[in-house]
């Protein structure tokens, strides 16, 4: 009797262990490269994904230059940090085919200052900090143009540089810094162009901007942020599940709350994202 009971107990433990092992094998691990992992919405996404058998690991990068390289090298499965204009620059420069699989937000780009209260207060010869990646340098210059601080030459396209400035009535000077540093240089400059996602991490509110671009305009399409992966993984079901979870109502609200209302969640079909990306890459290759 004891022997039979022992064998029965052992068999039960073995079956339980096998069941746990099988359950573990059925789960999918997905690593996502981000440049800020402290938002509450990521916890919600991870919990919701876990219910679908997907275990998310967030890999945080301190520089915009790194998550795409890590993706290409297979060090991560997805990344979620960039808009299509930034991605097009990377794909064109390195002849890569990183592919968007879902949209996340449009994050307005604004001019902020801790030294001046209005555009009019920006002094002659003042320094303006700009993100140093080409896509956001160009976008920032367009924000400055919309504020009347500079005039760019006509037909500059999406990626103007400081060399494309035709009129600079206040003789402003421009300092290019890593995007993550744009809030930190605020005490030392007349103004700094800051992405609202980075501003949020620095506890800066969008309504504190002296001016920002219009996320609802037709010109905003290149600045839609995306989940991106390698082209061969563009149909991966688990990745698409994560992108769909992002759009669920409570999580979308958490994204807005975490950004102090600065980020605007958008739901754009994958084929439309790819079309916009393809057009941007083609324009870059044609020198437009």
DSSP-assigned letters across all residues of 94-143? HT---EEEEEEEE--EEEE-SS-SSGGGPPTT-EEEEESSHHHHHHHHHH
Residues 65 and 89 in one domain: yes
Residues 165 and 186 in one domain: yes
| Domain assignment of residue 86, given as a range | 28-106+219-285
pLDDT digits (tens, 9 = 90+) for 279-288: 999 999 887 5
pLDDT digits (tens, 9 = 90+) for 121-164: 999 999 999 999 998 999 999 999 999 999 999 988 888 999 99
Residue 12 resides in a domain: no
Choose the final residue of a domain: 149, 184, 213: 213
Residue 18 resides in a domain: no
Q: Can you give the CATH number for the domain in which 41 is found? A: 3.40.190.10
Contact 177, 136 (CB under 8 A): no
Choose the final residue of a domain: 213, 228, 249: 213
Residue 199 resides in a domain: yes
- Lowest mean per-residue pLDDT among 29-33, 37-41, 146-150, 219-223: 37-41
Choose the final residue of a domain: 183, 213, 243: 213
Residues 178 and 227 in one domain: no
Contact 64, 70 (CB under 8 A): no
Residue 149 resides in a domain: yes
Residues 78 and 128 in one domain: no
């Amino acid at each position: 009797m004891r022997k039979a009971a022992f064998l029965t107990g052992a068999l039960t433990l073995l079956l339980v262990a096998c069941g746990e092992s099988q359950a573990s094998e059925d789960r999918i691990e997905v690593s996502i490269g981000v440049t800020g992992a402290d938002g509450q919405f990521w916890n919600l996404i991870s919990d919701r994904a876990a219910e679908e058998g997907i275990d998310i690991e967030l890999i945080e990068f301190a520089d915009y230059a790194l998550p795409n390289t890590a993706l290409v090298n297979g060090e991560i499965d997805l990344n979620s940090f960039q808009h299509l204009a930034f991605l097009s620059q990377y794909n064109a420069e390195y002849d890569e085919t990183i592919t968007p699989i879902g949209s996340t937000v449009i994050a307005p780009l604004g001019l902020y200052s801790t030294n001046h209260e209005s555009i009019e207060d920006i002094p002659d010869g003042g320094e303006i900090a700009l993100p140093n990646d080409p896509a956001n340098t160009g976008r920032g210059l367009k924000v400055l143009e919309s504020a009347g601080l500079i005039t760019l030459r006509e037909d500059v396209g999406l990626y103007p540089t400081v060399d494309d400035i035709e009129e600079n009535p206040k003789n402003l000077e421009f300092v290019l810094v890593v995007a993550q540093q744009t809030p930190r240089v605020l005490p030392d400059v007349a103004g700094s162009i800051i992405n609202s996602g980075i501003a949020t991490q620095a506890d800066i509110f969008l309504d504190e901007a002296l001016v920002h671009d219009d996320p609802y305009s037709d010109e905003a399409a290149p600045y839609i942020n995306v989940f991106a992966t390698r082209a061969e993984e563009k149909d991966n079901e688990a990745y698409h599940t994560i992108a769909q979870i992002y759009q669920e109502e409570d999580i979308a609200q958490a994204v807005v709350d975490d950004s102090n209302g600065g980020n605007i969640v958008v739901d754009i079909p994958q084929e439309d994202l790819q079309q916009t990306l393809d057009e941007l890459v083609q324009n870059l290759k044609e020198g437009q």
